[in-house]
């Protein structure tokens, strides 16, 4: 089980961090959420039911939500997964385009934003996303489709 958890982390670490950051809005809280989730996963004495990747994403999502519940209201500064201080994607995107995309994605409702992040950054299937969120497959797929339609409408002709 531990080797499988390690392999999932290596393969999906960026998607897991992106999901946690999307939910918490702060790098430190996202990192703490991932740490908490993997610390719990490491102690598991049983094989998770169903898809292990979806189980890990659900664990990180739940840990991120727990971080928000524990957070003091005075902490209002937030980070964005679209700030891109370095890396090939950030370097390739022009500043104006990056800002337009960031604003468009961050303006999506949380449920749509989660579906987009898990699909695009986490490389999860709709079935895995549905298991992660505890939602029907059709709901997740339509949520993603609506989000993509909104993004297309907001960004068409601008980038």
Of residues 43 and 79, the one with the higher pLDDT is 43
The answer to whether the pTM exceeds 0.85 is no
Give 102-150 pLDDT, tens digit per residue: 888 889 999 999 999 899 888 899 999 999 999 999 999 999 999 999 9
Q: In order of start, what are the domains of the chain with their CATH numbers? A: 1-75 (1.10.1740), 86-159 (1.10.10.10)
HEC string of 90-155 equals HHHCCHHHHHHHHHHHHCCCHHHHHHHHHHHCCCCCHHHHHHHHCCCHHHHHHHHHHHHHHHHHHH
pLDDT for res 36: 95
When pLDDT is cut at 50, 70 and 90, the band that residue 88 belongs to is low
pLDDT for res 80: 60
Give 42-54 pLDDT, tens digit per residue: 888 778 888 999 9
When pLDDT is cut at 50, 70 and 90, the band that residue 74 belongs to is very low
Q: Which of 23, 36, 19, 109 is nearest to 68 (CA)?
A: 23
């Amino acid at each position: 089980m531990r080797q499988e958890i390690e392999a999932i982390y290596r393969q999906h670490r960026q998607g897991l961090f992106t999901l946690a950051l999307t939910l918490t809005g702060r790098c430190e809280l996202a990192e703490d959420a991932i740490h908490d989730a993997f610390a719990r996963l490491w102690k598991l004495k049983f094989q998770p039911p169903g898809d292990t990747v979806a189980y890990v994403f659900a664990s990180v999502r739940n840990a991120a939500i727990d971080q928000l519940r524990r957070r003091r209201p005075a902490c209002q500064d937030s980070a964005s997964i679209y700030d891109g201080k370095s890396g090939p994607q950030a370097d390739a995107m022009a500043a104006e385009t990056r800002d337009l995309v960031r604003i468009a994605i961050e303006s999506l409702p949380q449920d749509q934003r989660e579906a987009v992040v898990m699909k695009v950054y986490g490389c999860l299937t709709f079935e895995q996303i549905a298991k992660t969120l505890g939602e029907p497959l059709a709901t997740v797929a339509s949520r993603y489709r609506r989000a993509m339609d909104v993004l297309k409408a907001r960004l068409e002709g601008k980038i």
